[in-house]
Amino acid sequence: MAPPLHTSALSCPSTPPDGALHLLPVAVSTPAHSSVGEPLSYASSTPLPPGTLVRVPLGAREVLGVVWDAPEHAAPLPPGVQPRAIAGVLEGVAPLAPAWRRLVAFAARYYQRSVGEVALAALPPQLRDLGPQQLARRLRRAPPPVHSPGATENVALSAEQASAVAEIHTQPGPFLLFGSTGSGKTEVYLQCVAQALAADPQAQALVMVPEINLTPQLESRVLARFAPLYGDAAVVSMHSGMTPAQRLKSWLAAHTGAARIVLGTRMAVFASLPRLAVIVVDEEHDASYKQQEGARYHARDLAVWRAREQGARVILGSATPSLESWHASRPPSAGDPRGGRYQRLYMPSRIGAGQLPRVCVVDMGQQPRGAVFSPPLLAAITERVQRGEQCLVLLNRRGFAPVLHCHACSWKSDCPHCSAHQVFHKIDRTLRCHHCGFASRVPRACPACGNLDIAPIGRGTEQLEEQLAALLRNVIVEPAGRAARVGRIDADTTRAKGALEEQLAQVHAGEVDVLVGTQMVAKGHDFRRITLVAAVQPDGALFSSDFRAPERLFALLMQAAGRAGRDALYVAAQGQDAQMWIQTWHPEHPVYAALRRHDWPAFAAQQLAERAEAGMPPFAYQALVRADARTQEAAQGFLTAAAEAARAAQLPGLEQVFLFPPVPLTIQRVAGVERAQMLLESPSRAALQHFLSAWQALLHAERARHKGLVRWLVDVDPQAI
């Protein structure tokens, strides 16, 4: 949804005459695609400070709202308009701080959404449903704030870690902590958090990770460090995998100051933290920090803005930083005396004198035809498993096979609702669309011609697990004297609550010898006995139409390589270096050449040079306008008409914004809805923002004229094109 129109008509005077009702602006989540988005005016018998949580009528419903700041130049309500009264105040919850409201207002403005939508999405859902008595009971159960100065745990730091901690303590930042996998970045984060909490008895810290499955491991480590000093209740988590009651409890603890440390995924960037002192964004390059539904904000970028606005330190950490952050942290040079606005900190060495794994690239053009595992890789896996070591096999595609195919009539297992194939899952004999969720049983024969010989094409993690188990069935693990065991971790095996933790515990306990997994096990996990990692089919990303694909592939493979050889003493005892194997049909590709040397700076320099020449981010700024409609013609027609209207109106900033023609998305139909998009690009961020803001009224007007349109949205700084 877009920002609102006619904002002056929705504001109100902040100082009504004596004896009159007080007119208060209240941010509410208005219906999608309505032109009403700014705070609405409601009547109150008493003045309420901005940030107060209230319940207000909206249409036939009663909804949660936030009393907002009155604009400087407020217009009175139109004659004859009677404002509706506020239904009630959420007593016992302190008003949301001005810094939080400024964060929400900035996010709404920059990402072209309404203030109410962003504000209400940032609050725990249960606040919308609890009555006054239920909320009062929750507040009584909330633990009181713990203000214990305590002493931090004495952990011996490497010279690189100590230098990074000292720089962060004495310099303002923002900081980009560029540390190789296994270099001890997490310990640097904990040291900086400890210093901030010890310096101020009310200080709070926010530590963010890109995915839910990384929070339990981090939470246990943070609790072990800080619970003895501040109590268990001082550390809380925030992510979408929690129950509504858990999310509310964590939010209240952070809002009241009882929680000193908040751990979370991208949604945690909006946590109410009145005394925020430090923000950590781990694996800052990860695309998961970009929200892909509703307000499409980037949590990393908001974290940097929030830290600057609240006077907090912000640390972005990664072994493969995003090219945007890498460019922003460039050191001064003769041609660029100012350099970037971030401060880059280096930690190239692994803890304990460990070495990064040796990269072995296998040319599949020289291997037996049809081989899934090349003979050299299979021999290396077998040798490691026999010695009791663990291996990780990476394939970023779940299921057994991407598609079923009939060789007689060329039928494929297409999804009836999407322009995509249904994926074959052999375990439960189903065909599943990974885009809309539609599932069906595997047919006994070809639905088109009756041929009984329908076969899977391509491979997924299920198939790799099955084939590896067959290939290793006669391998004996020493000194245990048992048969080798193959396990799998992907989105299918971790659906049940607690399943991921249970499977990771099995890996850590040595109950799995070869782990097959998707990208969810390739980053952040500290597997101490894995000494070999193999990527069996990584070439698909090399020739993607998305200009960010090589960067993402390099990051994924380097993160995966970092799972091998993390325990230097264990690797040394085995008498053989850790290894990263890559099977490819393009062994001389620059991605693999740089990966052999673990040389992110060289790869980044080459990619940045290409982007500078092509005028792509971070040297230009982009936005996508997407249209979903009943037909592809209607979707593209809306975008074309909106572009023509913008040119006819000569909107501000248009002279610096290039509008590309609308095109279908790669997966152009999902759940029966056709999708098209239009790319906007500009060398000026300000010009692009001015144009998008001015364009909103025309987009709303065009939507009214295109009856086949289902919805439209704006995606600022898109991460996938």
Give the closest residue to 456 by CA, choosing from 412, 416, 490. 412
Residue 634 falls inside a structural domain: yes
Residues 6+ apart with CB under 8 A from 475: 382, 385, 386, 483, 484
Residue 652 falls inside a structural domain: yes
What separation in angstroms does the CA of 644 have from each of 201, 216, 234? 57, 50, 55
Residue 449 falls inside a structural domain: no
What's the burial of 274, exposed, middle or buried (CB within 10 Å: 0-12/13-18/19+)? middle
Both tokens of 623, joined, read: 């936005």
Residue 422 falls inside a structural domain: no
Q: Is 631 in the same domain as 500? A: no
* C-beta separation of 709 from 635 below 8 A: yes
* C-beta separation of 484 from 472 below 8 A: yes
Residue 634 belongs to a domain with what CATH number?
3.30.70.100
Determine if residue 391 is labeled as part of a ligand binding site.
no
Q: Is 74 in the same domain as 187? A: no
Residue 94 belongs to a domain with what CATH number?
3.40.1440.60
Both tokens of 329, joined, read: 């942290």
Q: Three-state DSSP class for 198? A: helix
In this structure, the number of other CB atoms found within 10 A of the CB of residue 237 comes to 24
Determine if residue 449 is labeled as part of a ligand binding site.
yes
Give the closest residue to 622 by CA, choosing from 547, 709, 710. 547
Length of the chain as a residue count: 721
| Edge-to-edge strand list for the sheet holding 430-432 | 423-425, 430-432, 439-441
Give the H/E segment covering residue 40: strand 40-44
Distance CA 135, CA 710 (A): 37
What's the burial of 147, exposed, middle or buried (CB within 10 Å: 0-12/13-18/19+)? middle
pLDDT at residue 13, rounded to an integer: 34
Kindly report the backbone phi and psi dihedral angles of residue 325, in degrees, each rounded to the nearest multiple of 5, phi listed first: -70, -35
Count CA atoms within 13 Å of residue 407 on its CB side: 6
Give the closest residue to 527 by CA, choosing from 430, 392, 437. 392
Q: Is 193 in the same domain as 133? A: no
Per-residue burial over 671-702, b if 16 or more Cβ lie within 10 Å, else e, is eebbbbbbbbbbeeeebbbbbbbbbbbbbbeb
Both tokens of 159, joined, read: 């010279």
Distance CA 206, CA 187 (A): 15
Q: Is 209 in the same domain as 61? A: no
Residues 6+ apart with CB under 8 A from 570: 528, 529, 531
Residue 689 falls inside a structural domain: yes
Q: Is 169 in the same domain as 286? A: yes
Q: Number of structural domains, the chain?
A: 4
Distance CA 91, CA 47 (A): 14
Q: Three-state DSSP class for 118? A: helix
The residue from 114, 141, 168 where one domain ends is 141
pLDDT at residue 33, rounded to an integer: 59
The residue from 588, 612, 636 where one domain ends is 612
Q: Is 198 in the same domain as 339? A: yes
pLDDT at residue 492, rounded to an integer: 87
Residue 437 falls inside a structural domain: no
Determine if residue 418 is labeled as part of a ligand binding site.
yes
* C-beta separation of 342 from 167 below 8 A: no
Mean pLDDT in order along the chain per 10 residues (721 residues)? 34 42 88 69 92 91 92 72 87 93 96 92 86 71 52 76 95 93 91 95 95 84 92 92 90 94 96 97 95 93 97 96 96 88 93 83 91 93 92 91 92 94 92 93 93 90 92 89 91 85 88 91 82 91 86 92 82 85 93 92 94 95 96 95 95 95 94 95 96 93 87 93 81
Q: Is 679 in the same domain as 608? A: no
* C-beta separation of 115 from 108 below 8 A: yes
Distance CA 690, CA 693 (A): 5
Determine if residue 192 is labeled as part of a ligand binding site.
no
Residue 185 falls inside a structural domain: yes
Give the closest residue to 211 by CA, choosing from 490, 496, 434. 490
Per-residue burial over 311-325, b if 16 or more Cβ lie within 10 Å, else e, is ebbbbbbbbbbbbbb
Residue 438 falls inside a structural domain: no
DSSP output for 504-562: HHHHHTT--SEEEE-GGGSSS---SSEEEEEESS-GGGGG-SSTTHHHHHHHHHHHHHT
Q: Is 528 in the same domain as 385? A: yes
Q: Is 387 in the same domain as 312? A: no
Q: Which domain holds residue 33?
A: 7-141
* C-beta separation of 338 from 332 below 8 A: yes
pLDDT at residue 471, rounded to an integer: 93
Give the closest residue to 720 by CA, choosing from 164, 330, 292. 292
Determine if residue 433 is labeled as part of a ligand binding site.
yes
Both tokens of 98, joined, read: 């001005």
Distance CA 531, CA 561 (A): 9
pTM over cut 0.75: yes
* C-beta separation of 620 from 681 below 8 A: yes
Q: Is 494 in the same domain as 521? A: yes
Q: Is 340 in the same domain as 359? A: no
User: Angle at CA 333, nearest 5°, toward 331 and 338?
Assistant: 70
The residue from 288, 320, 347 where one domain ends is 347
Q: Is 331 in the same domain as 383? A: no
Distance CA 28, CA 244 (A): 20
H-only helix segments in 405-543? 461-471, 499-508
